Amino acid sequence: MASALFILNGPNLNRLGTREPDVYGHTTLGDIERMCRETAEDIGFDIEFRQTNFEGMLVDWIQEAGDVAQGLIINPAAYTHTSVAIRDAITTADIPTVEVHLSNIHARDAFRHHSYVSPVAYGVICGFGATGYRLAIEALSEVIRA
Ligand code: DQA
């Protein structure tokens, strides 16, 4: 069976394509999912790609990832800057985790500069738009196979 990666997306990312296109572009979450599936298939990984607007749902899914997946890619969206619960779930899941942001959070509002997730992530990719998800899959696959 191929190794599995969970790719989890937080609040408002279901609105990509029409949400603040000057910041996030016109790529939809469906486009990102398709790109992730192609990338993962090419390198022999199965993916579970999900989005929710609910913090507790993300916590449940991170716990599930810890039980069944080899790695986690997460764009926690606004919860990045607020959620101790998501950070604790990632710590507990104990699988290599990449934090992804479409935008460069350090070049935006000051409240976006702090991430609760970064200190417990294996790595962080931000500012490359949808490409960041592809880079995260490639990087995580190397970490898992090493
Ligand atoms: C985001 C950045 C966050 O600050 C913001 O709240 C989001 C999206 C990004 O992908 O750039 O919803 O995570």
Tell me the CA–centroid distance for residue 1 and ligand 1, in Å.
33
How many Cβ atoms are within 10 Å of 43's Cβ, its own excluded? 14
* 88: pLDDT strictly greater than 90: yes
Catalytic residues: 24, 101
Per-residue pLDDT of 43-68, as tens digits, reads 999 999 999 999 999 999 999 999 99
Per-residue pLDDT of 93-129, as tens digits, reads 999 999 999 999 999 999 999 999 999 999 999 999 9
CA distance from start to end of the chain: 18
Is residue 20 within 8 A of residue 87, CB to CB? The reply is no
Q: Which residues line ligand 1 (CB under 6 A)?
A: 12, 75, 77-78, 80, 101-103, 105, 112
- % of the chain beyond a pLDDT of 70: 99
Residue nearest to atom 12 of ligand 1 (CA): 77
**DSSP-assigned states of every residue in 19-66:** S-HHHH-S--HHHHHHHHHHHHHHTTEEEEEEE-S-HHHHHHHHHHHH
Is residue 84 within 8 A of residue 117, CB to CB? The reply is no
Set out the domains of the chain in order of their start, with CATH numbers: 3-145 (3.40.50.9100)
Residue nearest to atom 6 of ligand 1 (CA): 78
